């Protein structure tokens, strides 16, 4: 199986820019990683949609997801740019669809538009978003996914739901990639999220690199695809890998092999300290990626 790979840029969310004092230099360090990845053989670069650092909020830089996506679209020429994943609660789904359409054009069709229900409670409250329990957030997410898809595929869509409504919005241009911007849904919820993947998405992100969890979630996804008449093989099955800088190349290859055996065909890698040292990312590109071409 041919496997594609993406890499996260250092955005600040994981405290990965704190050793750089100047915010302009921080942004340029992030951009430099994207440009290095653009040289190949990476398929994509990725950002998170968060406002505060983890594992706890600190007074440190975190660059905003869609702003970064749009600037990286113009700072690179080949690579795809995605979010893992956009938080539905931070933007009306109709606005999300419009933003994504615009960035898909700006990138000449290189956008991977990610969307999820959201989870980082203190961040929602700090920024003035209403924090609701899981059933409501999942209900909102379900409606949002349908609205976004319809904004990309219909001329004047009309939708009235419990949480959102649209009344014939004009969304032009809808994007460059056909039939619409590549739609990635994050999360492993078996009753809602994975069914939405089967209904609407081009790609999913499940399992957090755990082979057993990947296998289970993809089994559920296959069941939804069978029930809905969707071709399971046409959906990209992605998962994550946090690179261990002390691990041998052989051990890293072994970890990826187990993810692939579980059903993943796309791996998105987080490289610690890549803002300060590109070498581990470049070594992964030269020694690991070719093993899965």
Model pLDDT for residues 11-23, shown as the tens digit of each residue: 999 999 999 999 9
Structural domain boundaries of the chain? 4-292
Q: What are 112's strand-pairing partners?
A: 82, 182
**Res 20: pLDDT:** 98
Distances in Å between the Cα of 234 and the Cα atoms of 55, 225, 265 are 35, 10, 11
- Taking each helix axis from N to C end, the angle separating 134-153 and 93-106, rounded to the nearest 10 degrees, works out to 50
Residue 274, CA distances (Å) to 8, 26, 159 in order: 9, 12, 44
Please give the pLDDT value at position 1. 72
Q: What pLDDT is stored for residue 242 in this prediction?
A: 97
- Predicted TM-score (pTM) of this structure: 0.96
Per-block average pLDDT, block size 10, for the chain (293 residues)? 95 98 98 97 98 95 98 98 96 98 98 96 94 94 98 98 98 97 96 97 97 98 98 98 96 98 98 98 98 95
CATH 3.30.2310.20 fits 4-292, yes or no: no
The two tokens of residue 253 are 């290859």
Beta-bridge partners for 45: 7, 81
DSSP label at residue 102: H
Q: Can you read off the two tokens belonging to residue 172? A: 């032009």
Phi then psi dihedrals of residue 255, to 5 deg: -60, -45
**pLDDT value of residue 123:** 95
Residue 115: DSSP 8-state: E
Determine the pLDDT at residue 68. Answer: 98
Query: 3-state DSSP call for residue 238?
Result: strand
């Amino acid at each position: 199986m041919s496997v594609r790979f993406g890499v996260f840029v250092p955005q600040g969310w994981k405290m990965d820019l704190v050793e750089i004092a100047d915010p302009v230099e921080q942004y340029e360090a992030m951009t430099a990683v994207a440009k290095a990845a653009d040289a190949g053989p990476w398929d994509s670069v990725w950002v998170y949609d968060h406002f505060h650092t983890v594992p706890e909020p600190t007074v440190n830089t975190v660059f905003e997801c869609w702003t970064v996506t749009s600037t990286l679209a113009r700072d690179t020429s080949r690579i795809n740019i995605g979010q893992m994943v956009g938080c539905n609660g931070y933007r009306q789904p109709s606005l999300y669809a419009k933003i994504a359409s615009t960035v898909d054009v700006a990138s000449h069709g290189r956008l991977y538009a990610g969307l999820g229900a959201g989870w980082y409670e203190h961040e929602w409250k700090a920024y003035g978003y209403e924090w609701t329990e899981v059933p409501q957030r999942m209900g909102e997410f379900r409606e949002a996914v349908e609205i976004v898809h319809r904004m990309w595929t219909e001329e004047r869509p009309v939708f009235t739901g419990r949480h959102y409504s649209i009344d014939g919005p004009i969304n032009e241009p809808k994007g460059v990639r056909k039939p619409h911007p590549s739609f990635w849904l994050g999360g492993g919820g078996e009753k809602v999220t994975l069914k939405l993947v089967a209904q609407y998405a081009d790609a999913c992100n499940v399992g957090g690199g755990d082979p057993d969890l990947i296998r289970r979630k993809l089994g559920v996804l296959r069941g939804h695809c069978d029930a809905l008449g969707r071709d399971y093989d046409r959906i990209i099955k992605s998962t994550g890998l946090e690179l261990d800088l002390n691990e041998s190349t052989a051990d890293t290859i072994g970890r990826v092999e187990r993810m692939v055996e579980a059903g993943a065909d796309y791996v998105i890698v987080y490289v610690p300290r890549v803002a300060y040292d590109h070498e581990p990312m470049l070594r992964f590109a030269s020694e690991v990626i070719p093993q899965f071409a």
